[in-house]
Each structure stands twice: as structure tokens, then as C-alpha cells.
Amino acid sequence: MTDRSAAPRDTAAFHLANSGALWNGDPKRPGTARTEDEAAPDDLPPPTGRPLTGPLVPPPPATPPYTPPAPHRSVRRTALAAAGLVLGVGLVAGAAAGTWLADDANGSPAAEAVFAHGRETWHSAPVDTLFPPTLNGLGTGPGGADRTWIRIAVAPDSGCAGAFDPLLTKALAPVGCNRLVRATYVDATRTSVITVGAVSTKADRTGMQDLRRRFAKEHLDTRRDLMPRPYAAKGTPAAGFGPAQRASWSIRVLDDLPVVVYGVSGFADGRTVDDPQPAAEATRTGATTAPAEAGLGHDAKAVTDRIEQTFRKQAAKGTTEPQ
């Protein structure tokens, strides 16, 4: 009798009963035993080497060592550094200039050349340079107000005879008179008139230093009997600017140039002034005289300052220009 139980069954019931094993991926036919080479999962040998402790992903790239960024120099810091450099250069240049000027005061060749050329400045420089058609004085008026003066007349260059009161003529006699140049200005409001002048002297440096010391010691520049005379040009607002109209004045005896510079102011309407006052006093804070309150002291001082600066500049310029 044949054993039918061992024969393969190819029936629908058989396949249905064993479909779960086939579906779960067991390649063996159901009901068959494993061979020796097909050990069960529990029979696998233990793993060797270091066990895996994480997911199988590539390691991250090595982090480069930290390098601090270069310091950022802002525009402000750059500007400050540049300003500091300019200031340093300026201080060095200023010190050098100060040394040069100190040497000049002792009679260096450069100072002597400027002094000599200063004697000829009155005719070597154009009239519009010595006496500009318009003078602007920023902050030179009472209370720091701005002032403007317009030139209305230029006197022909001349000698000094009759140009000054007798006592001033006597005071200036030690240095002599080479030439006199003058101009008259009116302020922008046509309230005041100012005559400014420059005497080119015949003295050497020592003679100018002696006269400067005498003026300072005896206060000759503040004496009313030593006031300069104005230049009253006909047909101008200064036509009535005579000795009785003088209100304030300034006299400068230079010792680095053979030049005496002066300025004298008055009212443009021709009124007389009974109490004239030197510019040094009329420009003091709290001064209440008529010249002070009208700003005539400021006019005389500021215009004289400008002409003095011009003569110095032109004298120095003449030593650097090719002859």
C-alpha cells in the first residue's frame, strides 16, 4: 500500500494552509527541514569587532581651527587717524616755523631780506593789493558783528610834509619818511569813514625797534595830540572828514618792517567829536563813549590790522619771487 502522506500535495487547501509561510519570505517549502548549512537565526555565531552604536552615516567634516576676523576699521576711525596724522604734521611744521621766526627776530638773512623788501612794498605791490576795494571784517565789529568797508579814495603817494600834526611829525622824525601812501574807506552802512595809511621809513631795524619801544613806553599811540590826520577826498562821503571829526585812531610801529601803519575814523555825517578815544580803549568791553558805542574804535583797529597784515605778506612774498 502506498504511503500517500509523504507525497506532495497540490491541492487548493494545501496552498491555502501554507500561504502565510510563503508570504513571509520563507524560501523553504513548508514542512521541510533545514540543512546543516542553514542554521537558524538563534544559531548564528556571536558578532566580532566593535558593535555599532549609531546609524551608519559618514562622520561630519573636521571643524577648522577658529581664526578671529581681521579688525574692521570704520570710516570714523580712519578719519580720526588721518586727522591725527595731519595734526602731528602741523605741530611739527608749527614748531619749525616758530624756530624760523625766532631766528629771524635775531636778524637772520631771511629776516633782513624781508625787512629790506618792506621798504619798497609801497610801490612794488599794486594799489588794489595794498588797499583792496572792499574789506570784509568777520566778527570785528562791536559784539562780534561783521563789518564791511568800501574804498572811496586813494591819495597819491607823497612825502610826509603836512600829513600829520606837528607833534606826531616830531615823534616819527627819528625814522624819517621815505614815502606815504593812504586810502579812505566808508563802512557798508555809510555811517563811518576811515583813513588808513602807511609810512615807509628810512630807518634800519635798530631804529625801528627803538621807536617801537619809545611809543610803548611813553604811550604815544594813545595821546590825542598825536592823532593821525584823515584824508578827506572831495566828492566822497569823507569830504567833510577833517581834524575836528576824528573820533578814534590806531598807530603801529613795526620793527620787522621799516613801516608805520595807522588808521583814524570818524562819523560819515561830518559831526565833530569832542572826546576822541584811542581804538585800544574804545574797543574795551563796557566802553560807553560815543566812538566806542558807534563802533569807530573797532573800525580804526580792524582796518589798520588788515593793512598791516597786507604789508607783512607782500614784504615776505617779495623775497620768494624771482627777481
Query: What are the phi and psi torsion angles at 265 (to 5°)?
Result: -125, 160
d(CA 315, CA 120): 8
Q: Is 185 helix (H, G, I), strand (E, B) or coil?
A: strand
Please give the average per-residue pLDDT across 287-309, as a whole number.
Answer: 96
Q: Tell me what pLDDT residue 193 has.
A: 98
Please give the average per-residue pLDDT across 177-206, as a whole number.
Answer: 97
Select from 155, 308, 128, 165 the least CA-distant residue to 231.
155
Please give the average per-residue pLDDT across 246-271, as a whole number.
Answer: 97
Q: Tell me what pLDDT residue 33 has.
A: 46
Number of helices and strands (H, E) in the chain?
11, 6
Q: Tell me what pLDDT residue 66 has.
A: 53
Please give the average per-residue pLDDT across 84-98, as a whole number.
Answer: 51
Select from 78, 100, 80 the least CA-distant residue to 88.
80
pTM confidence score: 0.67
Name the average pLDDT for the chain: 80
Q: At 268, is the pLDDT very low, low, confident or very high (cuts 50, 70, 90)?
A: very high
Select from 217, 226, 311, 224 the least CA-distant residue to 260.
311
Cell numbers linked to 34: 533545514
d(CA 164, CA 1): 173
Q: At 253, is the pLDDT very low, low, confident or very high (cuts 50, 70, 90)?
A: very high
Q: Which residue shows C-alpha cell 607782500?
A: 314
Q: Per-residue pLDDT tens for 35-49?
A: 444 444 444 455 554
Q: Tell me what pLDDT residue 11 has.
A: 52
318: number of Cβ within 10 Å: 18
Q: Tell me what pLDDT residue 198 has.
A: 98
Cell numbers linked to 221: 599811540
d(CA 190, CA 188): 5
- Confidence check: pLDDT of 85 > 50: yes
> Strand ranges (DSSP E) for 76-232?
134-137, 147-158, 179-187, 192-200
* Ramachandran area for residue 162 (φ above 0: left; ψ -120 to 50: alpha; else beta): left
d(CA 31, CA 14): 11
Range ranked top by mean pLDDT from 28-37, 50-59, 103-112: 103-112
Q: Tell me what pLDDT residue 82 has.
A: 59
Bridge partners (DSSP) of residue 184 are: 153, 195
d(CA 172, CA 225): 13
Q: Per-residue pLDDT tens for 130-189?
A: 999 999 999 998 989 999 999 999 999 999 999 999 999 999 999 999 999 999 999 999
Please give the average per-residue pLDDT across 226-247, as a whole number.
Answer: 96
Q: Tell me what pLDDT residue 101 has.
A: 44
- Confidence check: pLDDT of 88 > 90: no
d(CA 38, CA 27): 12
44 Cα distance to chain centroid: 93
d(CA 36, CA 47): 20
Query: What are the phi and psi torsion angles at 278 (to 5°)?
Result: -60, 150
Separation of first and last alpha carbons in the chain:
153
Q: At 296, is the pLDDT very low, low, confident or very high (cuts 50, 70, 90)?
A: very high
- Confidence check: pLDDT of 100 > 70: no
Considering only residues 140 and 95, tell me which one the structure prediction assigns the higher pLDDT.
140
Q: At 6, is the pLDDT very low, low, confident or very high (cuts 50, 70, 90)?
A: very low
Size of the chain, expressed as the number of residues it contains: 323
Q: What is the CA radius of gyration of the chain?
A: 52
Q: Tell me what pLDDT residue 40 has.
A: 44
Q: Tell me what pLDDT residue 90 has.
A: 53
